[in-house]
Structure 1
């Protein structure tokens, strides 16, 4: 071929080419030459390769008639912009076939426009790259600042404005009028600031500075800045050398200052100076700094109209003409001259009677009012019952904000004064009122607006007698009374915002008191937090008691400093190895729960969750199980057994008492006491009628209820008639008892402990005739021992009763010192000392 063109094969009539392929094609087309190397096949003429963004673009493609690609063929020209085809129109041209295309709005930053011919294949014959952007805007906000610390230089910066989309060059131009010399500085691409070196500066000479921007679409220049380099300097932090009081001028301080050590060579220049102050007990600087103009560093400055006797912190900053202000210097302190305190103090008094009710205990709190001025450093306070200054009547002196003392009940007011080294303030009168036992405050609520404040709200039932309210608050974790704060509130208010010393997660006690004309009423109190979170610890669960299938868990109260909020709930979670978890809520005051319906076959686990409005915390897990027979069950079984046994014993005893005579006769025979018996208790009713009573002092006779009757032979021999006197020959109990008596001659004491009781035999009284068939009354066959008489209890001899035919001077049981029996007389019976034998008195049975 005479002319070689790069041919691109298309699949069909449309093909998508990437941008980099288009660039390669464009570069290739630019170097297509005919075989003789003179002319390309086609050429594109445009209105411009760089155009404003969004403007129209026109282009014309001319294909030479002698181009080998189109020789002998009909020429059809196509246009393509990057990946897509655009429509063109055929135009006439003297050098060949031509086509023209117009892009109405070119809104791309750059694109490739190519011209192709349709032969056997689609052939690219020419191409051009078109870029679009904006002309540069004039740089804005040109500012310059001088650095007077080594190295000395002037740095200028500006705002380039909107992005141009094209490569833009910036140059910085300076004109120094005194030297009549200009400098131009090329700014590196991409930067919008430049530092002018010391060689291009005259510090105390004005110079003009501006910036010029240039790109392919045009150029722009910023507004010029005229300045003196020193006036554009931001000075280093100045220094305060000394702050002290001005002698003879109360409320004034004198400040001596200097520039930084690197800038002391400018000490002869005049500067603008700003001073700011704050009291030592304040966190806020004065709102508007005090401006002092044309001040040399060697000259001191004065600040007056300050509080007397107050320590102040002071800071300064400097400016040269209209240069930027330097930073604030470090703080220095000074104290103004003292004067006596002025103004009144706000006070709050709480009173209550002591145990004797003769004096009042007083707690007095105070704070400076808005008008109060301490006017000194070391301020103390004096409470006195007298208005005049002096030691007399003083009840309290302190440097704090509260005082506790006692006063007689009749004292109605005290006087509070502030004292410093310069004098004493006018006394503030404080009224002492007796506490009132009524309260009209209700529904005290606290809402935290933020972490450092609390909004207290309350309601009152009756405000007609009120003069106002007192809101008192203090941190509950600290017991120091100096931390108690208060605020007096008008009676028309029902809320107060507490701020200043409130910390999150700390409890505060708040009390609202009603204030009357003649006293203070009862308060309503509430605890509050400005912010809450989960507790810092949980209590330990303790097994307190178990019984049957129940168990009681208890725990101690969480310390106040670990709660981090108001406890809202205690929840105990428990579960067994084979069962679902269950939850039990506890009463906040009781702090215990009872877990019911537990199975003795399983091991249980449990933990407690403590919650506040700020979060919850879970405690550690404990393990427990229920014993089949716990202590409570065993105690209940023992009690039930004891109750059953007691009921059985009561039944037995009642049964025994109901048949006590029969049982007593079986086990404990009723044996009369010989020393306390009489014939009245041993005779039957028939005997009583036969034998008259000889002892009028004896009570009514009680007769034996149990006697045995023995049948004796009807006829007794003479020897048988003497059986009463021959005890050794008689085998009956009566014979042994009487004949063997130690009081009868011939008695031999037996070593046996058991002496059988006598068998009672009645054959009738002496006056009655012998019965045909004698009766024998058997008292008992018991072998209970008789009371053996000691020798010291030997009975006296008494005269026998003559009622039954016995001689009055006859003694029974032998001779006695008290009575001497006559010859042939019988023994004398000792009736009083032997009432038992007295009851057995017998008539003589011998036949005279």
Structure 2
């Protein structure tokens, strides 16, 4: 690769060296041609065959190609004249490169340029027109012309002047200029001279028409030099100047003098007839006193030549005179703490054009009728006085070093108890040419008019500017600094002879625009479907125009936006038909006739319930609930016994039963006091069923001698209460006979009873009975528990002691002795007494005189007027079934 790169470099160097040699073997004609724009250029390339043979590269014309810059000219534009000559014809344009080359490809690959030329494209010069000359102060002569169409290519212009029969001097203009200047003495005065301009370039030549002048007639003098301007009398200025052409001794000059005040842009000129004669000074008269004037002058040859330029401006001030105008005078009446006095501020304006000098001060004279109340000398433009309710006349004059001005009179009206307000002054305001105009209808009774105005304030007592107008005027513009987009409150006062005034006010703008900011919206109140919005108006200084209306745009977080328009005077608005529990975004726009401006965005969220809606739901619900509770209470009071029967039945207190006196499980009083329910919560009382046949096997004597406290005293009785006799609750029948008959034919029902040792806190043990007709199991009898019986008697139990579930051997010995035999009528009572039920504790009482049939223990006839009491049935710990 490195060898290949070296070979390429050597090859390029060889080809470049050959190219330099080939350039001497060809030639192109024409050399550097100028081509008229829009025409063709034809060029020829001539080959020197002998030169090419020596270089070892013989070529023919057919191998040549032409290029403009780096652009190849198509072969269709070529013409091969012979082996040594090739030509090309094409139309050059301004966008083409201006080089043309003739080339060939050496060794069939590398381009080699044989020869090249540069060409130019342009236009031939046109005839110069409007040739004119002017002589500046007879020192230089300058002629100008119009060259016509741009020739594009370099063109030479020359000015020729001819005297009769011979040419004098000529001037060549610099490239790009259309004028040429000759300096004295290369031109002659007082001799007719012809002038002509010639234009020439590579494409042609053109000459202008001849013009002929006597140079003295085309002289433009230099402006005169103002020597001095002085004030010689009141209203008189004297101006002196110097001739600008003294060397040429040209005295036939006329002058033009102009002047203006310093604050004005309009010039006044002295008539030409007053300055035609040769002179070097002039006096201006009837000028304003104590006024600064600006003065300028120029000159001209009489009947020939041109006006000179205006001279440098000079200023001067006229002398003072006494003021010619009275100052504008006005007053502002203010109330004081005293009802008999008034504070009056006298105000006036400084004199401008009518001052006629420097104002040194003002004289103020206050009169009450013919009496002079006070006379003051003031250097300021305000003065405060205190006056009574009477009418006053105030006279004001201004003075300078030359005297005093005419007086300005102001009437201060008296204070009347009953004042009839005059009708308001009607007028209109409009803007025109950047000024604010006030237009009204003048009145013959008015002494004058005062226009007051203040900006960015709607108060009549604002700090006001003012101006006074004469009585015969019906229109005036405000002579203050009136700006667009600023609010103005204008008041027009018509002064009457008695000092009273008619007035009227109007609001206006010189020009209205879009407000600078919009109002900020706040939420005053909000409900479920409504919201009240409040806002403050846009500050007056930010309104930039009259607010026509407000636009409220509001939208929910998800949903389309809505727009409503409210009046410009409104300060709050209520939105309706809103969705509950929804957040809204609100934007308010203040609009004028020129457009609107949005205020800052705000938001609010509606309530889930309307005000009072919750109360409307909760209060009736509470009232209904209270009524329901009240009805339940009334029903409870009326049905208390029935409800008590189902919810809280009457349960006897086993602790007060006599059965606790003979229970073998009752602990001795001397025993340690331990919890009565440690051994078990229940003591079972089982009731067995005795058939009719078994009943017959017992005699009355057996029943009478039966010991209910000993085990197996009766074969047909068994007890689940520690071996006590079976306590069978008698079945009630309608009559004794019916009960006996039933007992003989059917088996009696034996009830199972259980004493509950637990229960509600503080409640004594209870019995539970069962209506089951099933016989007791053998295990229920527990005969082995009572085999060993101690002769020792147990202490009688107290009513508050409880039973235990089972007996031990020690307990058997504590069973009390058998009770003595009792009559049959007392047997039932004794059994119940042993069970712990007495007459005082809901025990079953036998009817007096009624015999108890031992053969029918299961049947007892209880009187109907006594309460029927049964042993409690199957009561478990923590609950019981109703009796």
What TM-score do you get using the length of structure 1 for normalisation?
A: 0.47
What TM-score do you get using the length of structure 2 for normalisation?
A: 0.45
**Larger relative contact order (CA 8 Å, sep ≥ 6):** 2
Structure number with bigger Rg: 2
